[in-house]
Amino acid sequence: MQSPNTADSYLDRELVKQLPGFTSHYLTVNGLQLHYVMGGQGKPLVLLPGWPQNWWSYHKLMPLLADRYQVMVVELRGMGGSDKPMMGYSKKEMAGDVAALLDELGIERTHIAGHDIGAAVAFSFAAHFPQKTDKLVLLDTPHPDENLYRLPMLPTGAGIHPWWVAFNQVQHLPEQLLEGRFHLVQGWLFDQLLVDKTAITDFDRQVYAQAYGSQDAIRASNGWYQTFPQDIEAIKGQRIESPTLGLAGPAGYQMLSYALPPYIDQLEIKEVGGSGHFVAEERPLETSRFILDFLG
């Protein structure tokens, strides 16, 4: 049951109260403070959120996984309650943050899953820290590679035109334009990329609006995109040895089927029917079932 819509309702300390058995934590690694939410019991399972959301994007999925796994949702550098430094937003560096966090917590190996930008970081984690990775789950998004250079400048009529990938490359201007207005971008994205428009509620949207309302938050999240050229170079020649599951709605399924096989040795790709980009919120039961079956 969601809290009444007061200013405090959208704070992490209030949000986590809606998930019995989960608690909110902060830990400093690599010179910055990371925020994470943890609950459940069993083998560790790290969940990484994506743009333009925060840890709350997994709130439907977390209780479904917590009976069998110790679930830890980590907010990446630049996201939500985590610090927002001026640099360090390559996916390899952010994967290093996750690895350092696990070291501090005494966790030697983990399953890891990510959505959107979080999927790119999870991929990088598996590529650069294979000794720490058991199984990898990618939700509707591959790692940046040279295919990004082929994105059209103009809409082609085939699917949604990803204009934000270019817009987020611009330095300094987006945060000036969008401070206090970022909810307009989020609302457009949710309405375009959801099949079930009600899956992300007005309350959820306000949570995400609060998380991205400041100039620092917008600047930092754009930093995730501005490192794409570095990320593209970092992926060249990489192979993922860990068993990997790709999960996506029908449109994303086609993209993952094309983008993932060149990099992954042990790959399964499953389609989440009736879903758009935000599979964990649109189809949490189906998504959790696919993940639990895959992790075994």
* Within a domain: 289: yes
**Residue 293 burial class via C-beta count within 10 angstroms: exposed 0-12, middle 13-18, buried 19 and up:** exposed
Residue 167 lies in a domain: yes
Inform me whether the pLDDT recorded for 1 exceeds 80.
no
Within a domain: residue 198?
A: yes
Mean pLDDT across 208-214 = 98
Backbone angles phi, psi at 156, to 5 degrees: -105, -10
Q: Could you give the count of Cα atoms lying within 13 Å of 98 in the half-sphere of its Cβ?
A: 37
Q: How confident is the model at residue 163 (pLDDT cuts 50, 70, 90)?
A: very high
Asked if residue 4 has pLDDT above 90, the reply is no
In a domain, 71, yes or no: yes
Question: What tokens does 128 get?
Answer: 């650069």
pLDDT exceeds 60 at position 149: yes
Q: State residue 233's pLDDT score.
A: 97
- Average confidence score pLDDT of the chain: 96
- The pLDDT value recorded for residue 123 is 98
Percentage of the chain exceeding pLDDT 90: 96
Are the C-beta atoms of 279 and 139 separated by less than 8 Å? yes
Structural domain includes residue 43: yes
Output the domain CATH number for residue 156: 3.40.50.1820
DSSP-assigned states of every residue in 245-268: EEEE-HHHHHHHHHHSTTTBSSEE
Taking the chain, what is the end-to-end CA distance rounded to the nearest angstrom? 30
Q: What's residue 3's pLDDT?
A: 47
pLDDT of residue 137: 99
Of 105-119, 144-158, 221-235, 274-288, least confident by mean pLDDT is 144-158
The number of CA neighbours under 13 Å toward the Cβ of 70 is 10
- Whether residue 214 lies inside any domain: the answer is yes
All residues at 6 or more sequence positions from 101 whose CB lies less than 8 Å from its CB, including other chains: 27, 29, 34, 36, 74
Are 118 and 137 spatial neighbours (Cβ–Cβ below 8 Å)?
no
Considering its fold, how many domains does the chain have in total? 1
Q: Name which of 93, 85, 81, 153 is nearest 117 in CA terms.
A: 93
Contact 122, 279 (CB under 8 A): no
Has residue 2 been placed in a domain?
Answer: no
Does residue 1 belong to any structural domain of this protein? Answer: no
Percent of the chain with pLDDT over 70: 98
pLDDT of 157: 87
At 7 the pLDDT is: 77
Locate 17 and state its tokens: 């109260």
- pLDDT tens digit string along 5-46? 777 899 999 999 999 999 999 999 999 999 999 999 999 999
Q: What is the pLDDT of residue 6?
A: 76
The reported pLDDT for the residue numbered 249 is 97
Using 50, 70 and 90 to split pLDDT, how confident is the model at 68?
very high
Rounded CA gap, 190 and 203, in Å? 13
Look up the domain containing 128 and give its range.
7-295
pLDDT greater than 80 at residue 167: yes
Mean pLDDT, rounded, for 211-238? 97
**pLDDT for res 158:** 84
